Amino acid sequence: MSDAAPAFVLPDLCDEHADIVRVAEPLFSSFGGRPAFGGPIRTIKCFEDNSLVAERVREPGEGAVLVVDGGGSTRCALVGDNVARLAGENGWAGLLVYGCVRDVDELARIDVGVQAVGSHPLRSIKRGVGLRDVVVDFAGLRFVPDQFVYCDRNGVVVAPIDLLG
């Protein structure tokens, strides 16, 4: 778990940038060891198959957030401790999962942000099915690659520009 103070507090970002931020519906809970995270959006669209998620976190994250549109499925987990650990080791700021995660006690000890709809002990299938770097829509928002997403325990927001830069 990260002992560093978060670089931002979401309510303050919303107050400072009310004209450009869009706020997600309150669907997500924080599971990762980094309570506040944000960065450029990278996307995966998949349904009950985390193959592309596992592949993507092996690549350099360069401070980006992997936004995973899992269709909101609560029938299996798309991210577990192995995927989260790889994401942290490869420089991803975090993962925002419209679906479930597992290994929640271990996720809390990994220095990467993880937010998801819930937890589920069953792992996903692995068929290599899904899309990468596409616009995804969930929680009342559109997540566009190369725009920015910010997450903390207060919620999730997106912005067309870097609010911290």
Query: Residue 51 burial by CB count (10 A; 0-12/13-18/19+): exposed, middle or buried?
Result: middle
In angstroms, how far is CA 20 from the centroid of its own chain?
A: 20
**Do residues 112 and 4 lie in contact, with contact meaning Cβ atoms separated by under 8 Å?**
no
Backbone φ, ψ for residue 151 (5° rounding): -135, 140
Q: Convert the pLDDT of each residue in 124-149 to its tens digit.
A: 999 999 999 999 999 999 999 999 99
Q: What is the pTM of this model?
A: 0.96
CATH of domain 10-159: 3.50.30.40
Ordered by start, the domain boundaries in the chain are 10-159
Q: Convert the pLDDT of each residue in 33-44 to its tens digit.
A: 999 999 999 999
Indicate left, alpha or beta for 135 from its phi (over 0: left) and psi (-120 to 50: alpha).
beta
DSSP state of 81: H
Alpha carbons 33 and 2: distance in angstroms, whole number: 6
